[in-house]
Amino acid sequence: MKLVTPRFWYVRKGAPAPLIRTLLRPASWLWAGATARRIARGRPLDPGVPVVCVGNLTMGGSGKTPVARALAAHIAGRGLAVRILTRGYGGRLPGPLRVDPERHDARLVGDEALMLATEAPVIVARDRAAGAAAAVADGARVIVMDDGHQNPCVKKTLSLVVVDGETRDGEWPFGDGAVFPAGPMREPLAAGLARADAVVVLLPVDAPAVSPALLALFAGKPTLIARLAPVSAPPAGPLLAFAGIGKPWKMERALEAAGARLADFAPLPDHLAYDEGLLRALARRAEALGASLLTSEKDYVRLPRIWRDRVAAWPVAARFEDLAALDALLDRTLSVSRDPPEPAKPKV
């Protein structure tokens, strides 16, 4: 059974459950060691076109997928054919294949892949090297890899790590620095930052400037600021909102900041597969409150089609504050120009 992300993971000092966290430390050391060995032993494929990797250092909730989508759109706006490469977490199809939103659903290709495919061509592949080759065969002149900072199978031209910049209410994006399962980190902070070419700090649209203490961690690396903004205002009237994302409490906070009338909010596990029983329970609760149902864009694509007329989606988009700084970074990356290889065509 999936669990909601522990919020105490993101407490910097004095987090609850100290005994449990202490008992989990040996498992954290094993996880960190296995990750370091996998990266060290990797033999990355050079697909012959620039690869921009948008990754993160924590287990989820940093906002890397909206950043990857915004980055792909920005590169495409420069006249370059972009393909987004993703593992397709939660999907059954191993790929490589190009996602077709008319034919595929989240059970087949994963929620993030399906969400991204509404705006850009997406290649799903558990084998990232095969996926990169398939993206080139599909016409990519640039590959944007959604996630993969800890995946050593593809040579990256530019490695970006996305960091959640919110530090209110005692939260810290890396918690106390503990690696999973004792904390949120995929690997130790120093190791992950050492392989990054630049950092993207993602803030809510209404948040103040980035904490100087947080920025100090990235001294010496280009650091871009982006804002996660609602695409539209939340629906009028009372709302029962629910979200199965990395940090569901962030959606609740964002809705309140946007002026939504929240009658209730249900935090759910990331990538949760919605079944009829849960959705009926949410609908009954909403009816009792006189509220309408609202969820995140990522959750919406996981809903059975018969429920999509009964639930509204609330999409958000990442917007870079300094496009000139982003372009300066991309200018160096996209100047890499080679004749790509001729791999096999991706499956459809």
Residue type, 288: A
Question: Domain of 183: which CATH number?
Answer: 3.40.50
- Decide if 92 is inside a domain: yes
- Decide if 342 is inside a domain: no
Instruction: Looking at the structure, tell me whether residues 136 and 204 fall in a common domain.
Output: yes
In the chain, % of residues over pLDDT 70: 95
**Chain-centroid distance, C-alpha 72:** 14
Statement: residue 348 has pLDDT above 50:
no
Calculate the CA dihedral of residues 113, 115, 118, 123 and round it to 10 degrees.
Answer: -10
Report the Cα–Cα distance between both ends of the chain, in Å, rounded: 32
pLDDT in tens, 147-204: 999 999 999 999 999 999 988 777 899 998 999 999 999 999 999 999 999 999 999 9
Give the pLDDT confidence score for residue 62 in this predicted structure. 87
Give the pLDDT confidence score for residue 2 in this predicted structure. 66
- Decide if 11 is inside a domain: no
pLDDT in tens, 119-157: 899 999 999 999 999 999 999 999 999 999 999 999 999
Cα 263 from Cα 319, distance rounded (Å): 29
Instruction: Looking at the structure, tell me whether residues 72 and 185 fall in a common domain.
Output: yes
Structure tokens at 214: 């947080």
The answer to whether the beta carbons of residues 162 and 202 sit under 8 Å apart is yes
Question: Domain of 242: which CATH number?
Answer: 3.40.50.2300
- Decide if 168 is inside a domain: yes
Instruction: Looking at the structure, tell me whether residues 61 and 111 fall in a common domain.
Output: yes
Instruction: Looking at the structure, tell me whether residues 198 and 275 fall in a common domain.
Output: no
pLDDT in tens, 191-249: 999 999 999 999 998 888 899 999 999 998 999 999 999 999 999 999 999 999 989 99
Coil, strand or helix at 242? strand
Domain count, the chain: 2
Mean pLDDT of the region 47-67: 93
How far is CA 42 from each of CA 129, 152, 256, 259, 335, rounded to the nearest angstrom?
A: 11, 5, 45, 48, 25
pLDDT-derived band at 251, boundaries 50, 70, 90: very high
Give the pLDDT confidence score for residue 121 in this predicted structure. 96
pLDDT-derived band at 338, boundaries 50, 70, 90: very low
Instruction: Looking at the structure, tell me whether residues 157 and 69 fall in a common domain.
Output: yes
Cα 92 from Cα 25, distance rounded (Å): 32
Instruction: Looking at the structure, tell me whether residues 170 and 191 fall in a common domain.
Output: yes
- Decide if 43 is inside a domain: no
Instruction: Looking at the structure, tell me whether residues 63 and 199 fall in a common domain.
Output: yes
- Decide if 175 is inside a domain: yes
Mean pLDDT of the region 315-327: 95
Instruction: Looking at the structure, tell me whether residues 121 and 152 fall in a common domain.
Output: yes
What residue ranges in the chain does DSSP mark as E strands? 51-56, 82-86, 97-98, 122-124, 142-146, 158-164, 198-204, 223-230, 238-243, 261-267, 292-296, 311-314, 316-320
Domain encompassing residue 78? 51-229+318-334
In the chain, % of residues over pLDDT 90: 77
pLDDT in tens, 1-51: 566 778 888 888 877 778 888 898 999 999 999 999 999 998 999 999 999
- Mean predicted lDDT score pLDDT of the chain: 91
pTM of the predicted protein model: 0.90
Cα 316 from Cα 297, distance rounded (Å): 8
